[in-house]
Structure 1
Amino acid sequence: MTSTVVEEKLHYDIVGSFLRPEKLKQARKDYTAEKITKEQLRNIEDTAIRDLVAKEKENGLRIVTDGEFRRSWWHLDTFWGFSGIEHVTSKQGYSFHDEETRAESARVIGKIKFSADHPDVAAYKFLHDLTANDEDITARQSIPAPAQFYAELVRGEENVAALREVYPDDTELIVDIGNAYRGLYLALYDAGCRDIKIDDCTWGMVVDNKFWATMANGEFDRETLQKLYLAVNNASLVDLPEDLRISTHVCRGNYHSTWATSGGYAPVADYLFAKEKVQAFYLEFDDNRSGDFAPLAAVPDNKKIVLGLVTSKKPELEETQSLIARVKEATQYVPLENLELSTQCGFASTEEGNKLTEEQQWAKIRLVVETAKKIWG
């Protein structure tokens, strides 16, 4: 069964990452400390993913992921898998509200190309094998967006200098990023994947004036950035199989229950919503930092909107009637049949995870499923 068939029956979804079990966290530490082998780590990951998929099914999900259990980061691990990229320690981590992350990055050392041994493909194959015989389940692969890749390659002076040694301007760079990503999509498709979600914080950065005041002293051209990010993403979304569903999740940062940027979708609606060649948008609407629903009017009629109304950052459960009311409010701009309900983000975009327990995580998932059934039947 393809994801399209499953999607027609569902109006609830997830973003994809889940809290790592303590045994898995310890195994990653032990592997880093050379106390266990890579094969031993993989076996522990395999067991944790099997357990996770079982829990996803038990809690009512029919679109499942591997929780991103094989990754340290939601984005860097994918970047490191491309040819022409090296794993580096940076001068500074990512700045979040009240916290700073570990200092790692991805840097260009040669022409960017898809590599047949990309770790995301191997990771998906394991998930596919776990679910292939279950006609009611779709196995989804989440990867960072091409625009996010571009943004990483220009993060900091050292990254920019290395990039321009190989790519003097963006023309060839955009083509190569697009081709590398398209190679990844097709390899995942050949492995059985019919549902890919590209996670993207770049649009969340574009809308935040305070972010740019810090990053560039306020000296940025919002329209130029939008054209750039749209071009990078759309360069990868060409000549793909008709039964491959590609969606995007727009995020404002999700690290240890903190956030990075703020701002509603209005400044980017005419580019992101109207022109990005994806089939669905997963959008954060869990607090006032995300603005109102009015920009959804720019979404074409043939695309789905997944409303991230249930926060993954806090353990407290939202009120069911409040969620129902907010979905009704969104129907002023998007027909009810084109709407779905989800958590606003994953529970562990990095291996650190957000500040809630696994039990609270699953309570959030059940709330999404049960509320969606009350709204859509």
Structure 2
Amino acid sequence: MTLTKQKIGFQHVGSFLRPKGLKLARQQYEAGKFSIDDLREIEDEAIKDLIIKEKEAGLDYVTDGEFRRSYWHLDFFWGFEGVEHIHYGEGYHFAHEETRDDTARLSGKISFNPITHPFIQDFDFVKSVTDDIGGVQPKQTIPAPSQLYIELIRGENADKIKEFYPNEQDLFDDIEQAYHDAIIAFYDEGARVIQLDDCSWGLFLDENFLSTSDGKAYADSGIQDILLNLNNGALKDLPDDLTINTHVCRGNYHSDFAFSGGYGPVADTLFAKENVDTYFLEYDSNRSGGFEPLAKVSGDKNVVLGLLTTKSGKLENRQDIIDRINEASQYLPLDRLWLSTQCGFASTEEGNVLTEEQQWDKLKLVKSVIDEVWG
């Protein structure tokens, strides 16, 4: 059990609710009343305050709460060379809501430039804060390579692929290389834990979608192998002291979800073959299915059970969480399991429907259960 604790530590999935002052500052900036420097100064102060609170909550690894982003994924994509920010005309359709209509589309060949991609500077700031206060390490969250591919083949976006990549293998190669270069750039700046957030597997889990003709065609398309190869290709030849997490989610927008279903349909690919150290898995409701697929997690990889929801402020029953951890240990040993919330508190700047006090209460409960179960 000690090895698990040393390797994973207490960490949150990633995002936190944006403070009211930060939301107002962004509105002022978008209205042309604030300069980018004004906005960044307010972001800096909000992130410093957040990291101090994360340390006080007992976190070993901290994030910037994704405070500089509008979306958990799109902002990172827009930082690549050859990717542009456009409005699609239609948002993502969740169970009860439709999101804003931003998307990422090819405008040329994909590559990573550490000078122009803003996330490198953003990480440097977080690292400077953690170095200053001590006792915590920075964690960098980015969307998975597979997620970029899913965005680029979304509807009319796919037309641009044919324009810039007549040979689709060249697209795969460039995505893998751009991501590998980004990961190395974060590492060179001091990142030792990088997390690939990944909703791309969700469509394979949803029985309602898979029962349709489009769903059956999608499931039989071989795309699981494409997603796996993109992720693994980006993770080749990385430093031994770099830990790679992946967080697999079914959608998290304003307390809504996009997909339902257990992990069984992807276990033989995602759990058995993806070359990550740790899986952060959504297990906060019946929509996530049972723990049986955990038996497919290969090697000595670990699983962090997302048993507390971030979609509601209602605090879970402590014994229920412990009972579920024990149930999961029937399929994966307890020394390869850990605990977190199921997702971040604000995968987009809208945030989920709970208060800042409730989000900290959730993390306090996570910490206390970790201390009890793993010692």
Shorter-chain TM-score bucket reads over 0.9
3-state DSSP class of the match of 1:270? helix
**What residue number does 1:36 align with?**
34
Distance 1:124 1:310 in 2: 27
Deviation at 1:168, TM superposition (A): 1.9
Tell whether 2:63 aligns with 1:97. Answer: no
How many angstroms apart in 1 are the aligned matches of 2:210 and 2:25?
A: 38
Alignment of 1:118-197 (within 5 A): 118-133=117-132, 136-157=135-156, 159-197=157-195
Is the 8 Å Cα contact of residues 106 and 160 (structure 2) preserved in structure 1? Answer: yes
Structure 1 distance, partners of 2:252, 2:372, is: 29
Amino acid at match of 2:127: H
Spell out, residue by residue over 1:27-83, the C-alpha distance to the aligned partner (whole angstroms, 9 max, x if none): 111111111000000000000000000111111111110000000000000000000
Q: Counterparts of 2:62 and 2:4 in 1: how far apart (Å)?
A: 11
Residues 246-299 of structure 1 show CA distances to partners (whole Å, capped at 9, x for unaligned) of 110000000000000011011110100110011100000000111100000011
Give the whole-Å Cα distance in 2 for the aligned partners of 1:321 and 1:91: 46
Please name the residue that 1:313 is paired with: 311
- Name the CA shift for 1:63/1:53 in 2 (closer, same or farther; >3 Å): same
How far the C-alpha of 1:138 sits from its partner, in A, is: 1.5
Alpha-carbon offset, residue 136 of structure 1? 3.1
Q: Distance in 2 between matches of 1:9 and 1:189?
A: 17
TM-score, scaled to structure 1: 0.96
User: Structure 1 residues 165-174 or 340-349, which shifts more?
Assistant: 165-174
Please tell me whether the aligned partners of residues 142 and 197 of structure 1 are also in contact (alpha carbons under 8 angstroms): yes
Amino acid at match of 2:42: I
The answer for the alignment partner of 1:374 in structure 2 is 372
CA contact (8 A) 2:126 2:138 kept: yes
Confirm or deny: 8 A CA contact 1:312 1:354 kept in the other structure. yes
Map of 1:253 onto structure 2: 251
Deviation at 1:214, TM superposition (A): 6.7
Is residue 57–residue 364 contact of structure 2 (8 Å, CA) maintained in 1? yes
Q: Secondary structure, in 3 states, of the residue corresponding to 1:86? A: strand
Counterpart position of 1:27: 25
Contiguous gaps of at least 5 residues in structure 1: none
User: Deviation above 4 Å: which 4+ runs of structure 1?
Assistant: 4-7, 212-215
Q: State yes or no: 1:302 paired with 2:285.
A: no
Q: Does the CA-based 8 Å contact 2:61-2:138 persist in structure 1?
A: yes
Contact 1:71 1:77 in 2 (8 A): yes
Structure 1 counterpart SS, 2:6? helix
CA distance in 2, matches of 1:274, 1:134: 39
Mapped partners of 2:16, 2:128: distance in 1: 20
Does structure 1 residue 268 correspond to structure 2 residue 293?
A: no
Which residue of 1 is the match for residue 55 of structure 2? 57
Would you say how many aligned residue pairs link Structure 1 and Structure 2? 373
SS at match of 2:24: helix
The alignment yields a C-alpha RMSD, in angstroms, of 1.7
Q: Give yes or no for contact 2:5–2:374 (8 Å, CA) kept in 1.
A: no
**What residue identity is the alignment partner of 2:107?**
I
Q: Sequence identity of aligned pairs in percent? A: 53
Once residues 9 and 330 of structure 2 are traced to their aligned partners in structure 1, the CA distance between those partners, rounded to angstroms, is: 18
Kept in 1, the 8 Å contact 2:10–2:61? The answer is no
Aligned partners of 2:314 and 2:220: how far apart in 1? 36
SS at match of 1:249: strand
Tell me which amino acid in the other structure corresponds to 1:145. A
Indicate the SS of the match to 2:146.
helix
